[in-house]
Amino acid sequence: MDPDALAKAFVEHYYTTFDTNRPGLANLYQEGSMLTFEGQKIQGSQNIVAKLTSLPFQQCHHAITTVDCQPSGVNAGMLVFVSGNLQLAGEQHALKFSQGYN
């Protein structure tokens, strides 16, 4: 499969799941996975999902602006960088966001 198409499909799945069912993100992380959120380092699938589900908003919508990917590592890995806008329920203005995946 084309790496760009694979990255785009992953990003679509990730943010659709984030916006509608955050606990459903657990299967996308491993115990060695690391999330850095506003300087806090969080490791492991359960801890990452606990952080994401504890965010102070229940409803949101991600509008993706860019998805960039490139090969990473020896096991056919990919580095994916995403940027876009995050619209929170009840808020007039969207927030900018960026996130990277490996």
Q: Which domains does the chain have, with CATH numbers?
A: 3-101 (3.10.450.50)
What lies within 8 Å, CB to CB, of 102 at 6+ separation is: 72, 73, 77, 78, 79, 80
pLDDT, mean of residues 7-22 = 96
Residue 71 has pLDDT above 90, yes or no: no
Q: If you average pLDDT over every residue of the chain, what do you get?
A: 93
